[in-house]
Amino acid sequence: MTDSHRIIIDWGTSNFRAYRFAGDGEISATHHAACGILSVENGDFEATLLREIGSWIDAKSEIFLSGMITSRNGWLETPYVEAPASLVDLRAGARSMVLANGAKLSFLPGVCMRAPTPDVMRGEEIQVFGSIAPEETATLILPGTHSKWVRVEEGRLTSFRTFMTGELFATLKAHTILGRLIPPDNLAADEVAFLKGVRQAYAAGSAGILHELFTARSGVLLGALAPKAISEFLSGLLIGAEISGGGALGWADRPLVLVGDIKLCARYQQALEALGFACRTGPAEATVAGFRRLAGRQEASHG
């Protein structure tokens, strides 16, 4: 199979991202669409695939898929591999399907942990392997709706924790008494309020975030916090609590690698550096780099 017939797809809950390789191993075309698995009518994933990138696909195509498309709500459920896991384990855990025209699809597994507490990921593992060198030891942070802290030892994904930071932030703003105090047209960034929240939550440590969240209300009522600063303050509290949790695990014992959306990674970097932690940003196209490694094209660099 040559690179010119290889396609990689990151198909999540909300988005579809496809990349086609050229003969020299470089990306020759990309296609992004808001047709995540939840928007696919009657589970007709094949029709959606052909509608979006059918012109790329022929009998020689080899298509790798990761993300929620491989979940029980996706096209072909692919069981998790258990951590510690390597790229070899991901390859071994893949499940295959052949389209009517002969194109081969490989559905990649996610990674799970059963102890000390249950945890799962689907798609992020590809980003992890695309962000590290083959034998690297690192702690990676993947900010998002469900932020991940991932421990990698000598190139193997050994353990991870999920923090519901982004989802909780959206919920607090939309469905709690705290959100009612936020002016509806308040979109301005506020570095002072954000870092105040970061430091306050981090200092609280094991005392917990529940009381600190209420200070977004009591602070306004007592004149210590402006209503327009609530959103940024809440964001800082939650990210600060997440960093505190990662630190409590002992996972901030080395420079941290941030992987994901550029703006969100920049926010986390600002918070981490304010707390004295060293960090760097991983590759912009970590998913593509991870697929390249999995397909045997090339190894990731230190970025």
- pLDDT tens digit sequence for 42-80: 999 999 999 999 999 999 999 999 999 999 999 999 999
271 pLDDT higher than 60: yes
Q: What is the mean pLDDT of residues 271-285?
A: 95
CATH number of the domain bearing residue 199: 3.30.420.310
> What is the separation, in whole angstroms, between the first and last Cα of the chain?
28
Q: Do 245 and 172 fall into the same domain?
A: yes
2 pLDDT higher than 60: no
163 and 245 Cβ atoms separated by less than 8 Å: yes
Q: Do 173 and 272 fall into the same domain?
A: yes
Q: Do 235 and 180 fall into the same domain?
A: yes
> What is the reported pLDDT for 206?
76
In a domain, 200, yes or no: yes
Q: What is the mean pLDDT of residues 202-207?
A: 89
Q: Do 106 and 218 fall into the same domain?
A: no
State which amino acid sits at residue 108: L
10 and 36 Cβ atoms separated by less than 8 Å: no
Residue range(s) defining the domain that contains residue 81: 3-131+285-294
As given in the structure block, the two tokens for residue 69 are 């498309």
In a domain, 155, yes or no: no
pLDDT cut 70: percent of the chain above it: 96
Q: Do 273 and 290 fall into the same domain?
A: no
Q: What is the mean pLDDT of residues 263-292?
A: 95
Rounded distance, CA 113 to CA 120, Å?
Answer: 6
- Residue of 273, 85, 104 lying closest to 195 (CA atoms): 273
- Number of domains the chain contains: 2
298 pLDDT higher than 80: no
- Residue of 90, 111, 128 lying closest to 283 (CA atoms): 128
Is the bond preceding 227 in cis, omega lying within 30 degrees of 0? no
In a domain, 171, yes or no: yes
3-state SS assignment for residue 23:
coil
Q: What is the mean pLDDT of residues 266-285?
A: 96
Q: What's the whole-number average pLDDT of the chain?
A: 93
Q: Sorting pLDDT into bands at 50, 70 and 90, what band is 201? A: very high
297 pLDDT higher than 70: no
- pLDDT tens digit sequence for 132-169: 999 999 999 999 999 999 999 999 999 999 999 999 99
Task: Quickly tell me which residue has 């799962």 as its tokens.
Answer: 120
Q: Sorting pLDDT into bands at 50, 70 and 90, what band is 4? A: low
In a domain, 243, yes or no: yes
Q: Do 250 and 289 fall into the same domain?
A: no
What Å distances lie between residue 215 and 165, 202, 234, CA to CA?
A: 18, 14, 9
Q: Do 272 and 289 fall into the same domain?
A: no
Q: What is the mean pLDDT of residues 282-300?
A: 79
> What is the reported pLDDT for 188?
80
Which range among 12-26, 130-144, 258-272 shows the weakest confidence by mean pLDDT? 12-26
In a domain, 152, yes or no: no
In a domain, 108, yes or no: yes
In a domain, 143, yes or no: no
Q: Do 44 and 63 fall into the same domain?
A: yes
Q: Do 187 and 246 fall into the same domain?
A: yes
| 172 vs 254, more confident | 172
Rounded distance, CA 43 to CA 54, Å?
Answer: 17
Q: Which residue intervals of the chain are DSSP H helices?
A: 45-53, 87-93, 124-129, 165-175, 191-204, 210-221, 230-248, 262-274, 286-294
Rounded distance, CA 288 to CA 151, Å?
Answer: 20
> What is the reported pLDDT for 125?
96
Q: Do 175 and 120 fall into the same domain?
A: no
Q: Do 277 and 180 fall into the same domain?
A: yes
Q: What is the mean pLDDT of residues 29-35?
A: 96
Q: Sorting pLDDT into bands at 50, 70 and 90, what band is 301? A: very low
245 pLDDT higher than 60: yes
CATH number of the domain bearing residue 77: 3.30.420.300
Q: Do 167 and 120 fall into the same domain?
A: no
In a domain, 177, yes or no: yes
> What is the reported pLDDT for 302?
42
Q: Sorting pLDDT into bands at 50, 70 and 90, what band is 300? A: very low
